[in-house]
Chain A
Amino acid sequence: MSLARLQASFRSWLHSGAGRPPEEFGPAAFAGLGVYRNNYRSQLISCLEQSFPMTVAWLGEDAFGEACEDHVAKVAPTSWTIDAYAKNFPETLRNLYRDDPEVSELAWLEWALAEAFVSADQDPLSPTALGDVDWDEAVFGCSSSIMIATTTTNAGAIWSALASRNEPPAAALLPQAAAMLVWRLGFHARFRTIDVIEAEALQAVMGGMSFGTLCSRLVGAQGEHEGTQTAARLLTGWLADGLITCISCRASCCGAAVVYSTSPG
């Protein structure tokens, strides 16, 4: 058996645990193979436990352990970093807990906060850089740490209570669909629940929409007065939260066209 075939076979056996191990191993290897198989599974389960402490607390260790077993059986790791193994676990939970959507939303929030924690270093735009901005043409560069996901439940409130070791609220559906916004400011990953209007506006701005176009859309949807006020409120909040890192006058920001920036690039 070639080395390539041996490795493909060994890897498959470690993952499935089914059937006999590769023929290259004799009966004397039985105990050793058990060590490798145990290491494989325990590493992945340990990764999930460490990545989702609030979800463990919410579900309980037994239920979380069952979800881990399901995930490890179905999903093989594909990245050099074991941290990446956590990425698809919220999807596994979504399938396992279809009637309890707060479970997968809570897990997504934990995963997103961990991702934001190690995102690229970027300085937020300083208010002093806003003096000469042509607001109609302005295009914003946003923090690369930003992640947005739809939420239908109070998963954010559950996370906050668990993180501060308080009694979490009962799971509840939100009166209307919203989104969770996750980002990093300084060395701290943060989140807040935002309404659909803000989520769509921020995603449009991240996609390169100019502030002038955003204002026009909001005015078209909400009327002159309210639309203008909404645009101003959103931008003020984004600046205060450190979500904006630079302003340019072209669609592709953060490149050579940066005009106003406090970030080295």
Chain B
Amino acid sequence: MTGTFRGFGLGLRKPHYDAFVDGSAKVDFVEVVSENFMVDGGRPLDILRRVKSHYPVALHGVSMSLGSADGLDGNYLSRLKMLADAVDPLFVSDHLSWSSFGGVGTHDLLPFPFTREALDVFCANVDCAQEALGRTILIENPSSYLDFHKSTFSEHEFIAELCRRTGCGLLLDVNNVFVTCTNQDLDPFEYLSGLPLDAVRQIHLAGHSKGSELLIDTHDQPVCTGVWNLYAHVVARLGPVAIMIERDDQIPPLDDLLDELAHARRIASSLELRAA
């Protein structure tokens, strides 16, 4: 199992580069989207080097496609390993999803039925990734917009079995729990209680949008009250974790995100005080 880190961070986004490059942003760690820096050279890697000189960095990927039935892309893993070796990240993470098959990609986090076959595929791919990278990875629960009537596991059961079999950690996206459970009419507290909480190493907090029939994981809104309530419920049950706000669109001034992060700190602190 990967190591632990206790702290509060933000995702590195272009409008805020200056504050992270000069180290003035008051955060404990920074998360970057791995693929944005899996390049040969140039300014992106220089920016990452400078950010890394001020903050611990977590690598968060979107293209490993761990659920692909035809295995992982060796070129992708090689490039990710080069980046991870250069950055020495807090964590390397990706999603409980698939995005490519047969050499054709979709650039989305797609669902799959939670079956024994899918579990075997996912475990084999996580084993392969962990061996290639030489480190334990974290898997993030995705937002989901449908379920498969052929699933024989619930999502939290599938994740628990995955963590048990591969030793991978868990990146718990609280907004994704909220979105998935709302869309599929599930109880989010029951979902959380079914997760292997001792495997959680990182938390994402984010906002979503309301579609005509479903909630959509857009990361373009502040964290909503329902997500804050779930966070307060679960954070008291966790060991040391890296907690962050994830914002990808309609990106506000950095101070707004730092205010949201301060709220996450206050909730965690108040629960620690109560526990003491």
Contact = CB atoms under 8 A, between A and B. Distances in A.
Interface of A: 2-4, 6-8, 10-11, 14-15, 24-26, 28-29, 31-33, 35-36, 39-40, 43-44, 47, 76-82, 85, 117-122, 144, 184, 187
Given A81-B35, A117-B42, A3 B146 contact: no
Given A11-B101, A79-B105, A81-B63, A31 B214 contact: yes
Contacts, number: 118
B38 interface: yes
Given A7-B101, A31-B214, A121-B41, A39 B68 contact: no
A120 B75 CA distance: 17
A74 to B, nearest CB: 13
B121 A118 contact: no
B101 A4 contact: yes
Contacts of B104: 11, 15, 76-78
B214 A32 contact: yes
B42 A118 contact: yes
Contact of B40 (A2, A44, A118): A118
Nearest to A76: B104
Interface string B42-64: 11111000000000000000010
Interface residues of B, number: 49
Given A77-B107, A81-B38, A184-B42, A35 B101 contact: no
Nearest to B215: A35
A144 B39 CA distance: 13
B121 A3 contact: yes
A43 B107 contact: yes
Given A31-B214, A40-B108, A184-B42, A78 B183 contact: no
A36 B105 contact: no
A35 B145 contact: yes
A15 B40 CA distance: 30
A26 B65 CA distance: 24
Contacts of B211: 31, 35
A56 to B, nearest CB: 19
A119 B106 contact: no
A2 B35 contact: no
Interface string B157-193: 0000000000000000000000000010000000000
Nearest to B63: A80
Contacts of B115: 3
A7 B70 CA distance: 10
B69 interface: yes
